[in-house]
């Protein structure tokens, strides 16, 4: 019963946080993480990732634009951005290194126009 209440609380929190109209949220019993997928109004995936049972972002998160092209990927540990994150925009890729939720370094690179990040 406590897990059900916690999952419902996470669902409520995520709906307030992200505001997308459509979403899928389910508990993965093996990993004990809440898996969430949010959608743009046009039906394309907007974000996918996981929360821990405390309701904090945890694990890998991926964001897509309205055409379904990947625009960012990175990881959280108990709500804190960690490690290398990647952002794609206007033919550029930025690699951002996080240390305890603080940007430690940024590297920008031009990307080949033939590369696709389509979901």
Query: Is residue 98 in some structural domain?
Result: no
pTM of the model: 0.74
Query: Is residue 62 in some structural domain?
Result: yes
Residue 102, pLDDT score: 94
Query: Is residue 22 in some structural domain?
Result: yes
| 36-75 pLDDT tens trace | 999 999 999 999 999 999 999 999 999 999 999 999 999 9
Query: Is residue 42 in some structural domain?
Result: yes
Q: Which domain holds residue 6?
A: 2-80
Query: Is residue 109 in some structural domain?
Result: no
What domain count does the chain have? 1
Q: Comparing 23 with 84, which gets the higher pLDDT? A: 84
Q: Which residues contact 73 (CB under 8 A, 6 or more apart)?
A: 60, 61, 62, 63, 85, 86
Q: Distance of CA 42 to CAs 11, 17, 61, 92, Å?
A: 21, 20, 20, 25
Query: Is residue 115 in some structural domain?
Result: no
| 82-118 pLDDT tens trace | 999 999 998 999 999 999 899 999 999 998 755 556 5
Is the pLDDT reported for residue 10 higher than 50? no
- Which phi and psi (to 5°) does residue 16 adopt? -70, -40
Query: Is residue 100 in some structural domain?
Result: no
């Amino acid at each position: 019963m406590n897990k059900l209440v916690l999952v419902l609380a996470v669902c409520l929190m995520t709906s307030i946080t992200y505001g997308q109209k459509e979403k899928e949220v389910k508990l993965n019993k093996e990993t004990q993480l809440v898996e969430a997928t949010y959608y743009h109004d046009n039906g394309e995936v907007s974000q996918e990732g996981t929360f821990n049972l405390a309701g904090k972002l945890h694990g890998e998160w991926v964001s897509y634009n309205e055409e379904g092209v990947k625009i960012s990927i990175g990881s959280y540990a108990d709500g804190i951005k960690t490690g290398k994150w990647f952002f794609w925009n206007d033919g550029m890729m930025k690699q951002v290194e996080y240390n305890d939720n603080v940007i430690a370094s940024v590297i920008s690179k031009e990307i080949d126009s033939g590369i696709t990040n389509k979901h």
